[in-house]
Chains A and B, each alone.
Chain A
Amino acid sequence: MKDLGIVDKVGRSIKGVEYDAIIAVGADNVQYLSGAPLPFLYSAHDQYVIVLWPQNGATACICPLEWETTVRKLSWIRKVQSYIDTAEVPRSAVEALAQSVYDAVRKGAKLGIDMNRVSDSFFNELQESLCGMEILSCDDWLHELRMTKTPHEVKLLEDAAYRTDHGILGAVHHVSVKGSTNEKFLAEGIRVHCLERGLDTVGHHAISQVASGENSKKFWPLAPKFGLGWDKVLVQKELIRMEMRASLDGYWCDAARMLTMGKPSPAQRQAYEALVSLRETAIQHLRPGVKCSEVFAAVKREAEQQGIKLISDLGVGHGVGVTTHERPYLNESDDTELRAGMVLVLDPIIYGPDREIMRSKDTVLITETGCKIVGWYKDWREPYITAYTF
């Protein structure tokens, strides 16, 4: 397990909180605190990996017996306590956790737990088992920790973004050479090129999809056959949306790019320029001290002034880290102040001339003085145009 600087960071931060120990149950929080990328956790509804982090630093991980060797290998946490699954979910996990808590803290201790992740039934059983202890929410504390990345995390996220962008372009080059192909071929090409660049494409979230023409008018045009692409041939004059989510050592890239088949029409070029202008507006506001909601408002205002059809329900971006979509959110309700070290995916989504859904996601690092786009393999101020040659 690589040291990403999180152990020190959490160790220092926990000294300043009121909890005697922290309990993390959510798959994302567990990965963050344990350092173990465990992608299968997201689809395991009745099995739990839990991190217990007491003030004294004697951190423990509780997991099903079947996963014990995996957790030992992938996590920096040395104390791994396994439990045996019975027919009573989540009792055995709760009992193992409760035992570890009793070993770690005094009676009457205050515990912090990720209330926005732990299920209500797990919480109730735990509260019963930890009679006399107070269990409070530590969600805000975890959010604060996770939102600002360590330099090692930044490096991983930057690397993941760069490799993904490179992977997308590698696949697009084949389209340029071949003249045309179909959505399925391009989607598969993106996936393979990302894999060749050392990315892990694991889990549901490793979705690569290509949507062109009519299909590009939908977010998920392939339902219920997600993640592969149809046989639809890419034809001249169509806008094509390419999406790829990939991870590197558990840290994610959330990418989308636009491609035009042949020379774009004036309307297509205008739409792409609109997308670029919203990105530039956001970038002007992405700096320490500015609230996320202010960035959103600025982009929305720009769209209104320019007559750009912005899809604002989803905000205009979000954080990225051990998940593809996390705090802070560049939307109206998030008043988080930006800080140096935050990494966000800038994602204003607009409608194209024929109501195509257009997005060109950029990974952005907040710096001391402003922000920096990371991971560009190509200058995306210009669209990628296939012209039978590169």
Chain B
Amino acid sequence: MTEELKTKIHNAIESHGYEAVVAVGVDNFTYISGVVLPFAANYPDRKAVIVKTKNEQNCVICPFDWCGAINDQGWKGNIVTYDENEGMPPQAIIKCLTNVLSDLGLGEGRVGLDVSRASRLFVEALGQSMSHIDWVPCDNMFRDLRIVKTKAEVELLEMAAKQAERGIIGALNHLEGTIDVPGYTLSEFSERVRVHIVEFGGSGIGHLATMQGVDTQLYYAPQRGKFCRGNLVRINVTNHYRGYWSNAGRMAVIGEPTDEQVESYNDNLVLKAAAEKNLKPDVHCNEVFEEVVKTAEEEGIGFWQELGIGHGVGVSDREAPYLNRYDKTLLKPGMVLVLDIYTYGPCRELIHSKDTYEIVEDGCRLLSWYRSWAGLYAVTGLRGTH
């Protein structure tokens, strides 16, 4: 973690008048600690929690088997493991956290807690255990901190976006030459995406789905069956690099595309270009959305407006600000957003081509292209380069 980010967090804690903050959410934990535990969210009964005081006393509390991974990522603060024999979830960690807070001299005063992440039971137990502390929701502090990235954070996000691209392209290249008998399975393809991302340095994968034909109307389904010639394919993957996420989605077609397929893909690019023009400082998020609505009306392009057209990305794969009709957040340099506009294919397939952008002083900078996506990617069996 850079000094710039440390200072930013420290200043926020001070300005909110907190004695300390306690972060329970996997995303907030990564944000404050600089440590990624990609498996943590999949253990609903186990937690890693970080305490950060205004005096820069930092302590992580975690299960015994996670301790090494935290130390190996350069964690410089204290680390205390909790014994899972000490009580049923969440009692064991609450006992340990109570001791840590006491040792840090935090018996009273205002302490921030990310209550949008901590379970009700956790908060109740902590409140009972440390009743003299004034527990204050600090979710808005996290939102405000996280919404504008430091330069180092942008670099991590760019790396994650590039890894996603290389993962998808690498997998598409495996697909070349295999589109006929005996065929290539969707599960194998998705697995190739994952493996390529990790080979290029990714620290973890979140959502992973390859959908084809009418199934592109789904966000996710277990990966079954083989690719079929003529189908539009949507590839979605979320992945992180040292805890910073990419949220990628790309389209391809198996075999030579039809004119209708090309046209529908190009329609998507028209709307994306309209959004891109407005991704700049001092524009409100809802104004970017309205510009896309206007262009869609002018061009006669249908799109799935209710979902909005994008969102922020950082230590989670989807976060504030949101590019929809409701969010009036003003864009600022350092914000990083994913443009995600769903349009429709000739058979009502859901099409999108997600890209990640950094807001810069005079507009926006595309972070995600490893290759050009200005045309629909056709898996013709002839391409021979990674």
Contact = CB atoms under 8 A, between A and B. Distances in A.
A115 B46 contact: no
A195 interface: yes
B187 interface: yes
A314 interface: yes
A220 B120 contact: no
A333 B87 CA distance: 5
Nearest to B207: A40
A28 interface: yes
Given A117-B119, A227-B204, A331-B84, A204 B221 contact: no
Interface in B262-305: 285
Interface stretch (B67-75, B171-179, B369-377): B67-75
B44 A87 contact: no
A224 B120 contact: no
A380 interface: no
B223 to A, nearest CB: 7
A289 B25 CA distance: 37
Contacts of B119: 115-120
B116 A121 contact: yes
Nearest to A82: B306
| Interface SS majority for chain A | loop
A43 B191 contact: no
B285 to A, nearest CB: 8
Contacts of A202: 190, 208, 222-223
B333 interface: no
Contacts of A200: 187, 222-223
A281 interface: no
Nearest to A196: B188
A115 B120 CA distance: 5
Nearest to B123: A120
A72 to B, nearest CB: 9
B98 interface: no
Interface in B82-139: 83-92, 115-124, 137, 139
A76 interface: no
Interface in B197-229: 198-199, 201-209, 217-223
A204 B220 contact: no
Nearest to A191: B191
B326 to A, nearest CB: 4
Contact of B306 (A38, A65, A207, A311): A65
- Among B65, B217, B238, residue most surrounded by chain A Cβ atoms (within 10 Å): B65
B307 A65 contact: yes
B326 A27 contact: no
A38 B220 contact: yes
A328 to B, nearest CB: 10
Nearest to A65: B306
Given A69-B218, A118-B120, A333-B87, A313 B307 contact: no
Interface in A212-263: 218-221, 223-228, 249
Contacts of A89: 116
Interface string A147-186: 0000000000000000000000000000000000000000
A386 interface: no
Nearest to A139: B121
Contacts of A226: 38-39, 69, 203-204
B242 interface: yes
Nearest to B311: A85
A373 interface: no
B70 to A, nearest CB: 8
Given A122-B116, A137-B121, A195-B188, A204 B84 contact: no
Given A200-B222, A219-B68, A314-B63, A85 B90 contact: no
A141 interface: no
B69 A223 contact: yes
Interface residues of A, number: 78
A200 B139 CA distance: 35
A55 interface: no
Contact of A44 (B39, B92, B137, B318): B318
A201 B116 contact: no
Given A43-B206, A86-B326, A313 B83 contact: yes
A178 to B, nearest CB: 20
Contacts of B188: 195
Given A115-B120, A137-B121, A195-B191, A87 B320 contact: yes
A119 B201 contact: no
Contacts of A326: 44-45
Given A40-B207, A43-B238, A115-B119, A314 B308 contact: no
Contacts of A113: 120
A338 to B, nearest CB: 16
A302 interface: no
A70 B220 contact: yes
Contacts of A312: 85
Most chain A CB atoms below 10 A, which of B86, B122, B218, B308: B218
A46 interface: yes
B133 to A, nearest CB: 15
Interface string A63-106: 00111011001100000000011111110000000000000000
B42 interface: yes
B221 A70 contact: yes
B321 interface: yes
B157 interface: no
Nearest to B215: A73
Nearest to A349: B65
Contact of B86 (A74, A137, A325, A333): A333
A42 B84 contact: no
A28 B45 CA distance: 10
Interface string B125-163: 000000000000101000000000000000000000000
B306 A333 contact: no
A35 interface: no
Given A119-B118, A226-B203, A325 B46 contact: yes
Contact of A73 (B84, B116, B218): B218
B84 A67 contact: no
Contact of B44 (A88, A323, A331, A332): A323
Nearest to A224: B203
Contact of B92 (A28, A311, A333): A333
A314 B84 contact: yes
B329 interface: yes
A42 B220 contact: no
B327 interface: yes
A324 interface: yes
29 contacts: A28-B44, A42-B206, A43-B41, A43-B206, A43-B316, A44-B318, A45-B316, A46-B319, A69-B217, A87-B321, A87-B326, A118-B119, A119-B119, A137-B121, A191-B191, A204-B42, A204-B205, A219-B69, A223-B36, A224-B72, A227-B38, A227-B204, A296-B85, A312-B85, A314-B64, A323-B42, A323-B43, A331-B85, A332-B85
Given A69-B217, A226-B203, 10 more contacts: A45-B26, A45-B316, A47-B318, A116-B90, A120-B118, A120-B123, A204-B206, A224-B242, A226-B204, A325-B43
